[in-house]
Amino acid sequence: MGRNPTALRSSGAAGLNGVGTRGFPMTQRPQPAWLLGTAEVSLLAVTLTAWFGFSRVFAGNWMVPVAVMAVVAHLSVAVFRRRGWSVAISALATLVVGAPTVLWIALPSATTAGIPGSGTPAAISEALNTAWESLRTEVAPVSIQPGLLLVVGTALFLAVFLADWAAFRLWATLEAIVPAITVFVFAILVGDSSNPVATAAVFASATALFLLVHHQAKMAATERWMADHAPNPARLLATGAALVVVAVVAGALAGPALPGASDPALVDWTGSDGSGGGQRVTVSPLVDIRGRLVEQSDQLMFTVAATQPAYWRLTSLETFDGGIWKSTGSYRSVSGPLDGDDRVTAATTTVRQRFDMVSLSAVWLPAAWQPTAVEADADVRWHQQSGTLMVDSDTDDSDGLTYGVSSEVPNLDLAELRAAGGPPPDDIAATYLQLPPDVTPVAERVARDLVADATNDYDRARLLQDWFATEFTYDLSVPPGHDGDAIDAFLARRSGYCEQFAGTFAVMARTLGIPARVAVGFTPGEPDPANPDVLMVRGEHAHAWPEIWLNGFGWVAFEPTPGRGAPGAEAWTGRPALQSDGDGVAPPPSAATAPSPRRPGRPGSCTAPYLHRSPSSG
């Protein structure tokens, strides 16, 4: 997929919508709106409970003012983010809102109806000096003073901005709670020994709920592809309740053992010393295609030595809920031969692959379609219906793993594909024809108009593919999204990136009664200069493409994204083996092999062939 410096990120950018990874920018999606809102509220709860730890530091009426400032801070940054403002503009707007808010709450006498005046700087200086003298002479808990509230409010707005940035722009779950953890640990180090159990239990409960809700929201926003992780209100609430119980019990048991829980302040403001510390471990999750294309374009994901190049497939997504594509299913441990589908009788070629995983930072194990055997020095799980391999549940990701795969790559005959007919099997139709009601009438009308003269499913799919590949352009800078409105906008704009081509194709195919799904993975990559027999696959090679079901042939891949073409699939896609030219358009298909479209496409420029270094893929 083409590299675009403006990056994805819903402002950040987000969508398969955003991986950034360790600090990946993701496109924010309001879909589902209730889940994003719940995640935002749960982050507010983390902030409030972290600052509740200062009950061991401050005395007096400080909780209500701090709570008001926290609510204003979270509400402000959420509004700026949801309006699509950049990080820089949002930071400036937060300062514009935060400064008068903190000043009005902490030092109202220095303002006129909340507006600073000529005497405000002197009043602030005096308040800060008084607060500093208090800190030098008192031991916690110290009486709250305007100067302390000024400092607390300023720190709070900064912490909230950073937490929101990490949580909903970068979609980095653990990084999002770092500001709150820092505040909480600071309170432990400088506070007295009061309420150790209550403060630890409340903060642990709020943090556990945020981690759960944010994880679910991130899966929806990035279109993560495992059903186990798909947002499910009943399961979310049940799991959340269990986590609260566990967190409260853990806090009650562990709270008294935390540094400073039963001792005087570890940092004594009258002169005694203290120490403390800690560390955190972050795990970089698989995010979205766009994040890899933009944020990880040059990062090596894995290397593969294979008897022939192919699209290295991670998984397929069979469920479209009107907002995102996702996958469901149960996995089982495997080693050696893998289950096939007896209904598939097409001729194949065996392709052997050896993968060395470097930094995919995900649970998936890439393989050419369709894997038939796997050998690894680690436990591997398999889902036959989607053709997905992944590491075992007790392993965080596949990084560092070396494994071998044998795949049966299809050799398809054009005439036989056109002759494939009959209704799809019941299990295929039940899953791969489903669409939400009225998801996009525009897409259905366009699809039916394009294929009006076609007489078989292959020709219908081919007409859809060729229309996209010749009438559209590749563009990473377009707004992300996969719901009905986003599909309509994509069709009107006629530009987008791979996941939008693949997802829209699959939706349109289903409206025509053709079982379809979205496959996710990588294009072949580039030769290793030190060993041309090894392909180096980077973030820039992330890709998505559609597959349709044809009786007797099983799942057949098509390539609607301009400037892309799978090696070995030229016979039925009419697309030469192309990897990427950034934003170019592949030449139109040959008239000898392609059905005549109702609306002829326009020619485009040629793109670079496989095994030639190019800016990006996807």
Domains of the chain: 33-257 (no CATH), 426-531+540-609 (3.10.620.30)
The percentage of residues in the chain with a pLDDT greater than 70, rounded to a whole number, is 71
pLDDT at 107 over 80: yes
pLDDT at 289 over 70: no
C-alpha distance from residue 605 to each of 123, 517, 573, 587, 588 (Å): 67, 29, 18, 6, 9
User: What is the tens place of the pLDDT at every residue in 392-431?
Assistant: 877 878 999 999 999 999 999 899 999 998 899 999 999 9
pLDDT at 134: 60
CB contact set of 118 (below 8 Å; sequence gap of 6+) = none
Q: Residue 180: what are its φ and ψ, rounded to 5°?
A: -65, -40
Q: Burial, 267: exposed, middle or buried (Cβ in 10 Å; 0-12, 13-18, 19+)? A: middle
CB contact set of 241 (below 8 Å; sequence gap of 6+) = none
pLDDT at 145 over 70: yes
pLDDT at 181 over 50: yes
Q: How confident is the model at residue 1 (pLDDT cuts 50, 70, 90)?
A: very low
User: What is the tens place of the pLDDT at every residue in 428-460?
Assistant: 999 999 998 877 889 999 999 999 999 999 999
Q: How much helix, strand and coil, in percent to the nearest 5, is found in the chain?
A: 40, 15, 40
Q: How confident is the model at residue 312 (pLDDT cuts 50, 70, 90)?
A: very high
User: What is the tens place of the pLDDT at every residue in 541-597?
Assistant: 989 999 999 999 999 999 999 999 999 899 999 999 887 643 333 343 444 455 554
User: What is the tens place of the pLDDT at every residue in 17-75?
Assistant: 333 333 334 444 444 678 888 899 999 999 888 877 777 677 666 788 889 999 999 99
Q: How confident is the model at residue 212 (pLDDT cuts 50, 70, 90)?
A: confident
* Mean pLDDT rounded to a whole number for the chain: 76
pTM of the model: 0.54
Q: Burial, 329: exposed, middle or buried (Cβ in 10 Å; 0-12, 13-18, 19+)? A: middle
Beta bridge partner(s), residue 526: 536
561 with 576: CB under 8 angstroms? no
**Reduced to 3 states, what is the DSSP secondary structure of residue 340?**
coil
- 366 or 21, greater pLDDT: 366
Q: What is the mean pLDDT of residues 351-371?
A: 93
The percentage of residues in the chain with a pLDDT greater than 90, rounded to a whole number, is 38
pLDDT at 157 over 90: yes
pLDDT at 268: 37
Q: What is the mean pLDDT of residues 496-524?
A: 93
Q: Residue 111: what are its φ and ψ, rounded to 5°?
A: -130, 165
pLDDT at 114: 66
pLDDT at 218: 77
Beta bridge partner(s), residue 389: 382
